[in-house]
Amino acid sequence: MKPVILDVDTGLDDACALLLAARHPELDLKAVTCVGGNVGIDDVVANTLTVLEAAGRADVPVARGAGLPLLQPMKAAPHVHGADGLGDLDWPRSTRTPVPGHAIELLRDVLRAAAASGELVTLIPLAPMTNIALLLRTYPDAAAGLREIVFMGGAAGIGNATASAEFNIWTDPEAAAITLTAAAELGIPVTMYGLDVFYDVVVSRERAQALSGSPAAELARKLIEKRSELYGDAGASIGDGGAVCAVIDPAGMTTQRFPLRVELAGSWSRGRTIVDTRDWTSDLNNDPHGQSTSIVDVVTTVDGGRYAELWL
Ligand code: BDR
Ligand code: CA
């Protein structure tokens, strides 16, 4: 089994990712950490506990993390995920509480244990990277427990929050820049599952309607129905769930290795991920701030049908 941790801002599509990570027999979900993003941190924590309970995984530790981006105010997305972040579904809410302490303390503890045991963990951030930046700057030794980071965020092409920037990076650009710089310095392999493939794993309403027989299946059906309804489509992308598919089944995608930087200034381009697709090998030390440049495996294509079947 592959040990994984999810960092989430649950979120309808984070819920799709959580269900898959909690239920897939090849994944060992060690912990889930929460960050403000799609909705405020209180709703993120409540939604995350609720989804894990539906998945029959109340055993997975959940921790509350940063409620606000490092520098700028929060700009949540209730128009995409509903006022409560979980589509305002008619669904029983969990009464569980998160573990005591901050998310970075849970991450630190799980990763230090992983380093000691040699069973390294894949960290899957599906949200603004505030918690990850705080972790890597506060407890850099915890990186020894990481096998890799596979994050949903960014885009080589167009954005969604703005024409330039993808929502997770746009929400906390400084955190993304710190995470990428720290990953380069600490030698952590990074994969970017960005907007270029985010919408390509689609589950039709028809297929979703066949999901029944357990709370996890019922919730999965409701998530697809709600996302389809919000977008007015015949089906819905599982969004963040695709990044979990990528960890389970890397053969279902193609990647290319490029330097990746985050735009921190710019009047129209703040939060953009700049994927350097030039012949870059001679240009790595040209960062204007003297920071280390992260060389990232950028996901360029996914087999959407294959990943949709995997999720179903
Ligand atoms: C990302 O932003 C959020 O709306 C989704 O949960 C996903 O993580 C897509 O830009
Ligand atoms: Ca998300």
**pLDDT tens-digit readout, 142-174:** 999 999 999 999 999 999 999 999 999 999 999
Query: What is the pTM (predicted TM-score) of this model?
Result: 0.97
**pLDDT tens-digit readout, 1-44:** 999 999 999 999 999 999 999 999 999 999 999 999 999 999 99
Q: Find tokens 């997975």 and name the residue.
A: 60
Mean pLDDT of the chain: 95
Kindly state if the Cβ of 168 falls inside 6 Å of ligand 1.
yes
> For position 288, what pLDDT does the model report?
64
Q: What are phi and psi of 37, to 5 degrees?
A: -175, -90
Element (H, E) at 6: strand 2-8
**Across residues 110-131, what is the average pLDDT?**
98
Measured in angstroms, how far is the CA atom of residue 17 from the centroid of ligand 2?
A: 9
pLDDT band, very low/low/confident/very high, at 286 (cuts 50, 70, 90): low
What is the ipTM, given to two decimal places? 0.98
Q: Which ligand is nearest to the CA of 36?
A: 2
**Cβ atoms of 143 and 116 closer than 8 Å:** no
Measured in angstroms, how far is the CA atom of residue 95 from the centroid of ligand 1?
A: 26
**Across residues 231-253, what is the average pLDDT?**
94
Rg (Cα) of the chain, in Å, rounded? Answer: 18
**pLDDT tens-digit readout, 253-268:** 999 999 999 999 988 9
